[in-house]
Structure 1
């Protein structure tokens, strides 16, 4: 999120403007989360906005808005459901985010009640279920209505849906005449995974996490859909009552359990902030193994008479608080380590985790980067994670920020199984059995199998047909996977694409009879392939998927060499990484030695070169478009820019020179025609002087090309 100005530095006008922005953002977030079951902000981002809003209001109390988010709970009900007014409002809880805030919470309560520091004061601590709040009203032992939280005052009537949930009894024995039970509708991890699998098989909507799935399932206008969904319910509170359930929070929860409701077995009685924090740590450690999502621990004063004395603020009770877990961190078990082989042959280790929700997303995999990372070292041998290695069976902390791929942040060695052994990174490719080597200075181990390696071949073929490469209509990643494994019409390397029609016999008989294909789709594919038999030099080079050679570099090389024949001859001449051709390649501005070596090596590798040559026999490779250089004083000349340019950027100068037919090099040599030197020119200017290369300043360069 964007860094905000410290509140102490805000002017009144700035504070007013930010409160307006925050009100709009939080209202929108509430509607998305509570009204549409489609949250647009992570819990952490939402909490940060709400805390910022509250802090500004505290600093500028006169600016508090009439529609302040601090005074809002949930969101208004949607039009699809009837409305139910809560006899006792369903309020939200205040939040604590660290141990100090928990200590402040207990201290505030003691101060409010005028209790001495050593006076007994009990609290309950229970997991905060990440689901959808629901209120159930029973009259004379029968369930008469069920309502969502809504905006705290009015909720949605979901009575018919609630009756379909197995954990919700429709009749009670021994209950008060009026009993409003409150709790959380949720979905277990296993049921969530099964639901998403069924949704995917049916082509339906996939849910981001169990909370969204539970909320979306409960808020169905058709109760039969809710009945088909595996919803659960934990009871943890109450609203309207005709008679008290007990004298304490813990006693009331026990009474609800006796009446037939599911209550959380991790609820515990605590007697100090130290006890509360210890139980928080214990629940946090069990988080991944519970089988359902929690996002914190809720603390409540146990004695109900003290709760009554403490009372409420505008939207939260004084006697309770939610101690939230860090939104982007969670602990879980490492069940295995898989090795994935990428398009460039890189062996990438992936952690297989016991699923856990991190930052609103269910995480079952995490990157382990490379073999050094697993051993607890960086690429230079320095310690990471305090030098702790990662082993299968470990209790690990998973980190996720925004849309970044989850990572392993830490390992709890106290929970390491006694039989856990150090992970041995494979020295052979798990896909093809070829040797996997790690070059000096490279953090990654790579398979040398090339196109004989299925993982590399398939990924290279997918890249070959991607949008910025050959972009063949009807031949995408899924089709490549199908053809690669096809026993009759296989595509194992790029040239096979352009022999597909000939191998089919030209009459479509073989392809059109396959599942998912017909005469028309087969004809369309062959026509699309024919359209791509003519392709530009730069696009062809990019499509080959040579390591380090991306789209920009491919087009740069195409402009430099002009046509494919000249380029391949230059690669052959540079095969020993020496000589004029090698130096010419290195002199291209934007081509470094690492890229150059990768490029030359690819064309020097016998099997890879044979595959490239076989492909180009079936293609017409269009020469790179050359600039119109009529009248250009620098056409065909090699120029070098050095120092600081004051009237244009280096990129602008390079583009302008190339448009006028000049070759821009990154280094000075005997082939350099002009050196354009700005302030701060160093070794290049000296070398140019030693070689007798013409040197001019930026003004002289602009004068030279003026009017062109």
Structure 2
């Protein structure tokens, strides 16, 4: 939605959405060490939030992301209150942003355009921020940034890092050194190899590995991890380290701290941008990950005059690198078949380092993408197709799967031929069909396709589904390859088919009497399964974990669910209407459900599975005394006293059905500010309408 065209109500709703997204991203990145989105996407959301707040300053939320630094420390972890807040940095993305940064500083200080003003430029390390407190030259405390005000106490862990001295000479009585904990590329690769050898978790990237290693509860684990530390700043001091940024860094280096050798003193924006280009050119060969260059006013007295905004210093900015790109050769295009039969093309590349990560595979999305078209048939990449042997540009942002972004036609081999996307499954040779309106071609073989069968069973035993201890993805591949299991029902007949099963498993590496017995016990324990987990485990297209629980709550039992979905096969009648009335279920999901149950082979596979199970009924809410039990409620507009999710959960807890659309079956419309067509339709149908206060009054005593 264009910000310039937003109404106040639309702006308020968008700020709420952005606050929720960014808070979730902060928790994932800073607390869980598991980023959910690329840095570029995160930065884009932050910029959008700031632009809306600038246009609608009165709508700025008390929990605005622009007022937050990092994320709150999780409960149960020892906390440290920072004497001087650890702030984040504002971002620059292009030459104009850097010029604007310089202009804003000169304006604030009252300096003319030609007045001398020096800056430092240094690589922005992609690691974990750490504050080290020394008293009388002795390390007494180490803390992560946390939310800027309170961080995690990681003192014992920090003492194990070789770049962090236990004692320092010629230091102020109180010295707080700040910097970044990181892991080098070779050390990261070695760590992942060791993790694989002992069956441990592989880390996605060096930043995650460094953050996870520093935040261990057992310092001996941290000690075994090859962590490094660059010092670049300071917090509380009993006396200054120098008069300039350069002098202060030199003094830290003299005390024994590692400072970045690429830090340079620059006379103005042009020199900053020139050094940015130098660092960007060396980026892939540094041996550690960086995601930009940090510019700081060199004069510490001027830093003091410039001071801080609520979450960022005025005297510093991070000039972020664009999305990561590299060129390499496309050696082959392989087709992978997923659990829903989707044929997914994968580029096999001559390995290339992109932002510190060795990339040898990249997604090609679908056959249209290879041909140089988008889903609407319009040209992408100027209409250039992708061929084996091409010199291709690989795009990587954050932890997302690398993509092929462009092709250099000037380096295309003269003998190259356009890629012909297969019309049959490479695994089972069944027809690969592309339905009208679908961007993906799918194998029609179902469970006779070994790729689909294996992927479906991997999903079936996944954590959110049956979660059978001892039967994971590797074991599923093994058992399927041996012909022991072809479909989920076969898992529950293993013991009967093999007697005790012990002898067959004894012959397999890694199995013995105890592990085999434990596996069969674990399988038996899962013969009783909650309805929501069973629906999710079926692996039906478009039916995720949340939708499965919605369906379970709505229908209550397997018998009711199975009967209703079977009867809804004609996409008309009361059962279809009832399915479509569930808030969160649309035509695409509903069609997928009824299609699966109408297909003879898939339905037979489901029936064979359920014959071995006792399916628990979904817990129904206690609706005694509820004024809305059995009623269909629709929420529209902006709710001011609770989120839409809270309102929906409360209504469902009271036995109401929450729908996303108004119809003749709607009993009650709750309309907040900005209610539009739904409110008009409800009025036309004579449906009772309440504002948020009326809704709260109605359910308050329930």
Give TM-score scaled by structure 1 length.
0.57
Give the Cα separation in 2 of the matches to 1:288 and 1:232.
18
Q: 1:306 aligns with which of 299, 302, 306?
A: 302
Q: 2:291 aligns with which of 272, 282, 295?
A: 295
Give the Cα separation in 1 of the matches to 2:412 and 2:450.
37
Instruction: Measure how far apart 1:106 and its partner are.
Output: 1.3
Query: 1:108 and 2:101 equivalent?
Result: no
SS state at 1:316 partner: coil
Where structure 2 has 5 or more consecutive residues not aligned to the other structure, the ranges are: 463-467, 528-539, 542-561, 571-590, 609-702
- Mark the CA change 1:60 to 1:502 in structure 2 (over 3 Å): closer, same or farther: closer
Superposed, 1:118-137 pairs within 5 Å as 118-137=114-133
SS state at 1:239 partner: strand
In the other structure, the counterpart of 1:397 is 395
- Mark the CA change 1:362 to 1:4 in structure 2 (over 3 Å): closer, same or farther: farther
- Mark the CA change 1:427 to 1:433 in structure 2 (over 3 Å): closer, same or farther: farther
Give the Cα separation in 1 of the matches to 2:293 and 2:169.
31
SS state at 2:478 partner: helix
In the other structure, the counterpart of 2:664 is none
Indicate the RMSD between aligned Cα atoms, in angstroms.
Answer: 6.4
Instruction: Measure how far apart 1:163 and its partner are.
Output: 1.0
- Mark the CA change 1:335 to 1:452 in structure 2 (over 3 Å): closer, same or farther: farther
Name the count of aligned residue pairs. 550
Q: 1:231 aligns with which of 213, 216, 227?
A: 227
Give the Cα separation in 1 of the matches to 2:65 and 2:500.
68
In the other structure, the counterpart of 1:410 is 405
Counterpart contact for 1:345–1:450, Cα < 8 Å: no
Counterpart contact for 1:393–1:420, Cα < 8 Å: no
Give the Cα separation in 1 of the matches to 2:108 and 2:471.
71
Instruction: Measure how far apart 1:93 and its partner are.
Output: 1.6
Counterpart contact for 2:327–2:391, Cα < 8 Å: yes
Where structure 1 has 5 or more consecutive residues not aligned to the other structure, the ranges are: 467-471, 530-541, 544-550, 560-590, 600-610, 619-708
Counterpart contact for 1:511–1:518, Cα < 8 Å: no
In the other structure, the counterpart of 1:185 is 181
In the other structure, the counterpart of 2:535 is none
Give the Cα separation in 1 of the matches to 2:48 and 2:376.
41
In the other structure, the counterpart of 2:77 is 80
In the other structure, the counterpart of 1:576 is none
Counterpart contact for 1:127–1:298, Cα < 8 Å: yes
Query: 1:331 and 2:328 equivalent?
Result: no
- Mark the CA change 1:395 to 1:265 in structure 2 (over 3 Å): closer, same or farther: farther
Counterpart contact for 1:332–1:396, Cα < 8 Å: yes
Counterpart contact for 2:372–2:383, Cα < 8 Å: yes
Structure whose alpha-carbon radius of gyration is higher: 1
Give the Cα separation in 2 of the matches to 1:454 and 1:473.
23
Deviations for 1:528-569, whole angstroms, at most 9, x for unmatched residues? 99xxxxxxxxxxxx99xxxxxxx9xx999x99xxxxxxxxxx
Give the Cα separation in 2 of the matches to 1:495 and 1:30.
41
Deviations for 1:187-221, whole angstroms, at most 9, x for unmatched residues? 34454455456556666666554434333332334
Counterpart contact for 1:161–1:223, Cα < 8 Å: yes
In the other structure, the counterpart of 2:534 is none
Superposed, 1:35-74 pairs within 5 Å as 35=31, 37=33, 43=39, 46-47=42-43, 50-51=46-47, 54-55=50-51, 57-59=53-55, 61=57, 69-74=65-70
Counterpart contact for 2:11–2:52, Cα < 8 Å: no
- Mark the CA change 1:75 to 1:368 in structure 2 (over 3 Å): closer, same or farther: closer
Instruction: Measure how far apart 1:237 and its partner are.
Output: 1.5
Give the Cα separation in 1 of the matches to 2:114 and 2:238.
36
Counterpart contact for 2:164–2:229, Cα < 8 Å: yes
Instruction: Measure how far apart 1:367 and its partner are.
Output: 1.0
In the other structure, the counterpart of 2:504 is 511
- Mark the CA change 1:65 to 1:491 in structure 2 (over 3 Å): closer, same or farther: closer
SS state at 1:136 partner: strand
SS state at 2:260 partner: coil
Deviations for 1:271-308, whole angstroms, at most 9, x for unmatched residues? 44344345445544554554433333211123334333
Counterpart contact for 1:34–1:75, Cα < 8 Å: yes
SS state at 1:350 partner: strand
- Mark the CA change 1:205 to 1:115 in structure 2 (over 3 Å): closer, same or farther: same
Counterpart contact for 2:344–2:365, Cα < 8 Å: no
Query: 1:321 and 2:317 equivalent?
Result: yes
Counterpart contact for 1:131–1:184, Cα < 8 Å: yes
Query: 1:349 and 2:346 equivalent?
Result: yes
Give the Cα separation in 1 of the matches to 2:306 and 2:178.
20
Counterpart contact for 1:132–1:184, Cα < 8 Å: yes
- Mark the CA change 1:365 to 1:296 in structure 2 (over 3 Å): closer, same or farther: same
Instruction: Measure how far apart 1:160 and its partner are.
Output: 2.0
Give the Cα separation in 2 of the matches to 1:154 and 1:518.
48
Counterpart contact for 2:134–2:140, Cα < 8 Å: yes
Superposed, 1:577-596 pairs within 5 Å as none
Give the Cα separation in 2 of the matches to 1:79 and 1:507.
45
Deviations for 1:580-615, whole angstroms, at most 9, x for unmatched residues? xxxxxxxxxxx9xxx9xxx9xxxxxxxxxxx99xx9
Give the Cα separation in 2 of the matches to 1:281 and 1:32.
31
Give the Cα separation in 1 of the matches to 2:2 and 2:440.
39
Give the Cα separation in 2 of the matches to 1:432 and 1:335.
26
Counterpart contact for 1:398–1:406, Cα < 8 Å: yes
Instruction: Measure how far apart 1:449 and its partner are.
Output: 13
In the other structure, the counterpart of 2:8 is 10
- Mark the CA change 1:7 to 1:477 in structure 2 (over 3 Å): closer, same or farther: same
Give the Cα separation in 2 of the matches to 1:345 and 1:28.
30
Counterpart contact for 2:11–2:56, Cα < 8 Å: no
Counterpart contact for 1:340–1:350, Cα < 8 Å: no
Instruction: Measure how far apart 1:128 and its partner are.
Output: 1.9
SS state at 1:161 partner: helix
Instruction: Measure how far apart 1:164 and its partner are.
Output: 0.6
Counterpart contact for 1:378–1:384, Cα < 8 Å: yes
Instruction: Measure how far apart 1:183 and its partner are.
Output: 0.6
Give the Cα separation in 2 of the matches to 1:385 and 1:68.
38
SS state at 1:111 partner: helix
Counterpart contact for 2:393–2:404, Cα < 8 Å: no
Give the Cα separation in 2 of the matches to 1:304 and 1:203.
50
- Mark the CA change 1:62 to 1:432 in structure 2 (over 3 Å): closer, same or farther: closer
- Mark the CA change 1:364 to 1:295 in structure 2 (over 3 Å): closer, same or farther: farther
- Mark the CA change 1:174 to 1:58 in structure 2 (over 3 Å): closer, same or farther: same
Give the Cα separation in 2 of the matches to 1:304 and 1:396.
42
Superposed, 1:90-489 pairs within 5 Å as 90-176=86-172, 178-192=174-188, 194-195=190-191, 209-242=205-238, 244-284=240-280, 286-325=282-321, 329-332=323-326, 334=328, 337=332, 339-342=334-337, 348-352=345-349, 354=352, 365-369=361-365, 384-386=380-382, 395-398=393-396, 406=401, 408-411=403-406, 478=474, 481-483=477-479, 485-486=481-482
